[in-house]
Amino acid sequence: MNYRHAYHAGNFADCMKHALLVWLMRAMGRKEKGFAVLDTHAGVGRYDLAAVPAERTGEWRAGIGRLAGATDPALADYLALVGELGLYPGSPALIRALLRPQDRLACCELHPEDIRPLRRAFRDDPQVAVHHRDGYEAIGALLPPPERRGLVLIDPPYEAGDEFVRLVDAIRLAHRRFPSGVVAAWYPVKSRAEARGLHGDVAAAGIRDLVAAELWLREPIDAGRLNGCGLLVVNPPFGFAAAAGEILGALLGRLGNREMGEGVGVEVVCGE
């Protein structure tokens, strides 16, 4: 396991994923009944962008660094949370901030070093369970939640050559075990063919209510680069496609470099 999220925290891909995650969490909270969140690939929880790993790549400067002072209404909720939470908040910190007393979070992290700060962050928190385990395996073990309402965030590092295959299997398994659950899976867009392949493979598994929200910084001609990223959402809450379009449009306005092929797209892959 070579991937460490501390080198990439706050980059454009994190901003995209986290701004959409905040919207999804608010949508889950529209109903009074409690819900459970499973964050399969959690990272360490919060990131010091002045520390060596983040400074070494400087990726955050082209991400959250460019959003300071942004007043776009579509980004207001996400940016207010980032401001309130201090160090740059990863998915577990953002999710935790939006849990109500009746909700709970289970997060998984496999890296032997990254699990320690994650454990420390939630040591005395009765609403958060931290698991040092394979997040893919946890989908089979922890779903469905007793609440029968929930959100599963799948955010793997894509270090392994077969990560897209594992992702499709994981989405299928999550949907089979928990058909009404909302599943949000982040993926890199290196080439359009790979992203279309992912959508097609998930749709071919018989999943009918599926939306893909993507942000592209440039035409994905060089498949060796992270040209954009996407969030594939199964059972999106009402209003997701429209809200995602606004959020991604606002992000692109701040993070785009006017390169050829930059843009956003929200596609209903498979209507209900």
Contacts to ligand SAM by CB under 6 A: 1, 3, 5, 17, 41-43, 90-91, 108-111, 114, 134-136, 155-157
Question: Are 103 and 36 contacting, i.e. CB atoms less than 8 angstroms apart?
Answer: yes
> Residue 176 corresponds to which tokens in the numbers above?
């089979």
DSSP for 193-215? HHHHHHHHHHHHTT--SEEEEEE
* Nearest distance from C-beta of residue 168 to ligand SAM, angstroms: 15
Nearest-approach distance from CB 134 to ligand SAM, in angstroms: 4
DSSP state at residue 113:
T
For ligand SAM, the closer of residues 63 and 270 by Cβ is 63
CB nearer to ligand SAM: give 130 or 270: 130
Residue 90's nearest CA partner among 69, 74, 72, 105 is 105
- For β-strands 104-108 and 128-131, DSSP reports them as parallel
Other CB atoms within 10 A of residue 177 CB: 16
Residue 219, class by beta-carbon neighbours within 10 Å (0-12 exposed, 13-18 middle, 19+ buried)? middle
Residue with CB nearest ligand SAM?
90
Catalytic hit among 72, 155, 169, 201: 155
Of the two residues 91 and 227, which places its CB atom closer to ligand SAM in the complex? Answer: 91
Nearer to ligand SAM, 1 or 68 (CB): 1
* Cis check: omega of the bond before 92, within 30 degrees of 0: no
Active site residue 124: no
Q: Cα–chain-centroid distance for residue 253? A: 20
8 A C-beta contact, residue 59 and residue 129: no
Task: Give least dist CB 244 to ligand SAM, A.
Answer: 17
- Of 54, 4, 128, 127, the closest CA to residue 119 belongs to 128
In the bound state with ligand SAM, the residue whose beta carbon lies nearer, of 90 and 230, is: 90
Say if CB 12 and CB 218 are below 8 A apart: no
Pairwise CA distance, residues 228 & 92, whole Å: 23
Residue closer to ligand SAM (CB basis): 186 or 270 = 186
Identity of residue 139 = I
Residue 185 C-beta: closest distance to ligand SAM, Å: 11
Shortest spacing between CB 153 and ligand SAM, in angstroms: 7
CB of 152 to ligand SAM, least distance (A): 12
Residues annotated as catalytic are: 155
